[in-house]
Amino acid sequence: MLEQAAEEATEIAQALLKAARVIRQENPTPMTRDEASSMVNEEYSDLIACTRELGLKVDEELEEKKHIRFEERWERMHK
């Protein structure tokens, strides 16, 4: 299951990169925005299924700290 999770993590990374290309309209791909979004959702679901099978849990405290850090970075980038 660890190997399956790693494979799914790689697949969602690729789906996210492709979606970013679609959104930026750079390095064109024939995929539409809806198709890219669907692919991201599918790969995310696959990864979540693997992590549940492995019994992995989100560290809520760590996730909150990261959320705050990401939000601060977003604000700095968009000033």
- For residue 20, name the pLDDT band (cuts at 50, 70, 90): very high
DSSP 8-state symbol, 54:
T
pLDDT at 57: 95
Residue type, 35: E
Q: Determine if the pTM surpasses 0.85.
A: no
pLDDT mean across residues, the chain: 95
pLDDT of residue 79: 83
Question: Mind giving me the DSSP string for 26-60?
Answer: -S--S--HHHHHHHHHHHHHHHHHHHHHTT----H
pLDDT in tens, 30-60: 899 999 999 999 999 999 999 999 999 999 9
Could you tell me if 22 and 31 are in contact, meaning their C-beta atoms sit under 8 angstroms apart?
yes
